[in-house]
Structure 1
Amino acid sequence: MRKDVVIVGGGIAGVSAAFFLSQGMSVALVERESTLGHHSSGRTAAQYTLGIAADTMRRVAAASKDFFEQPPAGFCGGSLIAQRGCLTVARSGQESRLQGIREQIRSVGARARITDAGETLSLFPALRPGGVAAGVHEPDAMDLDIAALFNGYASGAKARGAVFVPGEPVLSIERRGGMWHLRTPRTTIEASVLVNAAGAWADQVAVLAGETPLGLQPMRRTAFNFVAEGGASPDTWPFVSNLDYRWYIRPGRGHMLGSLCDAVLAAPEELRARDEDVAQAIANIEGDTTFRVKQVQSQWAGLRTFAADRNPVVGPRAGSQGFHWLAGQGGCGILASPALAQALAASVLGDELPPVQRELGLSFAALAPDRQALPASAPGA
């Protein structure tokens, strides 16, 4: 099979890249799992927020908002978003730290304000009053319809001729004759451009291709769906987390999503939630709220993969022969997927970044794998 571009990785990064690249190039996507979006893309809190500490990632997320609010014609059957709001809660003595979060959100033109104890409790009435001194409320944070977003990317790419090859681990990658030659158990794909969108496995793909790895760090995150007593009608309450990031809750119909907010370095592999981590998350939630967890309906763990500076990596190293990174999304891969994939497509095609990205101060240099903030070579490379 011969294509202009071959993408390694069938998560949200890979399918969004296929969607935008297929507008002007022939594309093949290879995924080792039999189901696309099997790993981190299918294990997300599905939240759009700009309360992101990493500066470049926050700008990328801001640049993605227009796509979510006005997706292309025919992209999905309905809306991709639902208004939710996001609330970060501080204890006594922590109030000054909330100002930094507020300013981060405001720095990209979004709304955020400090709430006193009374208003914080009115926004999320299940919080224990003694543990609440103030909060930061981001009213325009949203729930994202991940299934509709993922299917829109995949269907749109396929409609333009992109070929998806699931269930095929990559066995070898070679560069010869000005082309990448990628071999799986059942097929060989030749392409002038290779996009490394392999998530937690991106460094492994780089090594297989003879490229220097970035030293990406996959971090474990535990989450679970639960039914609780102690909340009257939480469907319209905001997404909430405490400033210490010991837990978060996303209310929903019939159940809620909770997390320990753990960030533990882990090998890139299939993960399962550990019962002790879920138990600790429940203890943290019950300690700070009036909820009593009656039933854990499901639990899981996923990987959030970070570059050294916590910002995403998009494009080639200087002098690279058609090897483009799309990695290091660090738990923001869903909410930043439109702008990251658009930046990748611009990089591959030799175009400028879209105007909204340039207006927000983004540049290829800030996204590049050889930017100054990243190590010149990964440890042990």
Structure 2
Amino acid sequence: MANVSSSNGLEKYPKLRFPGFEEPYRALCLGNIATSVNRTDPESMANIMMLSAGKGFIMQSDKYSRDNAGQSLKKYILLKKGELAYNHGASKAKQYGCCYELLEDEARIPYVYHCFKIDEKEFTPYVALELNNPKMDKQLKRLVSSSARMDGLLNISFDDYMSVRLTLPSYFEQMKIADFLNTIDRRIELQRALVESLKKYKRGTFDAVFSQKIRLIPKPQQREWRSYKLSDFASRITRKNGVQSDIPLTISAQYGLIDQRDFFSKTVASADMSNYYLLHKGEYAYNRSTSSDYPFGSVKRLELYPMGAVSTLYLCFTVNNDIILSDLIKWYFESSKWHRTVQEICAEGARNHGLLNVPTNGFFNTIHMLPSDPVEQMAIARYLELIQYKYDVALQELDMLMFLKNGFLQQLFI
């Protein structure tokens, strides 16, 4: 793949180009190569599908647990393989909507989508990639007349969308680029499947270890586990930050306690953090906010910085290593074995601001079944660390592949 730039300032070329291609790119409007698709078929039994940013066409029942088209189904567009649809609904992943090619034989899709097919002289998968490229957002942003309507759809009409400008290479170069990026996509999907598989394996193994279905020391050396109150091995931290740390911490499911400025690309903490709790490396914070991966909140240990400041909404504590190893507790709170004991003290569920009603005293009085033998504690901690390491490596590789793809999307397109 060769580096290519503008030769005379008039003709535009991408930063990267495959060797052997020297034809100039063509600038045109989407409407010059696209034809509207409005076919309907009330008798069709094709799958009912919808567009998902980042995933493309998915079954509507996968999103909503059922097909929710109702009486409007008869107005759904019957899309055929190789045709495209643009969902002009705003989302977190795609602020200005998304456009994908249908890879199934046919599908019934919402009539609010802008549906069209591409002229045979162009390679449809390439056009779909260009239309879904982040670079297209600049044009779409200019088309939005009054932000999002009440129904969540951007005010981009079909004719508006047909006016977006494309810069296309020859048909064969389109094929080369699309095939290359689709190869990366297939590799990404394989890696994503591996990450999901390891995630399930990790979760199952953690739960099996802490429910004693898996024991990691020989049977003759096994001791009975005993029940502990959290306060038996943990002490609450309420020390104030003052001016000791300028790092505002937040909890990330993947990275634990991290700097808010890295996580949000900005600081969402108060400008004055003097009243925040000061956390030292190796100490814990419990965030009572719920999420899909952490239905009872998340407990994380500070590991990336010598110290940091956390909101007083967090419950902070330190672990007494002489009773229970901190390295064990770190993994224990990644399992689901502590959920029930917290659930028992959540009398009224989640409050309006999304925090579970977990009282401070109640949390430190929760009961936990744990090994009392330091040898078994260490064996469990080391074993689970290895499993976490395998998962982290797979996740990092997925992140690297995504970064690589985004780089190519920037450099293979004008």
TM exceeds 0.5?
no
Name the TM-score class by shorter chain.
under 0.3
Per the normalisation by structure 2, the TM-score is 0.19
Q: TM-score, normalised by structure 1?
A: 0.20
- Structure scoring higher RCO (CA < 8 A, sep ≥ 6) equals 1
**Structure ID, larger Rg:** 2
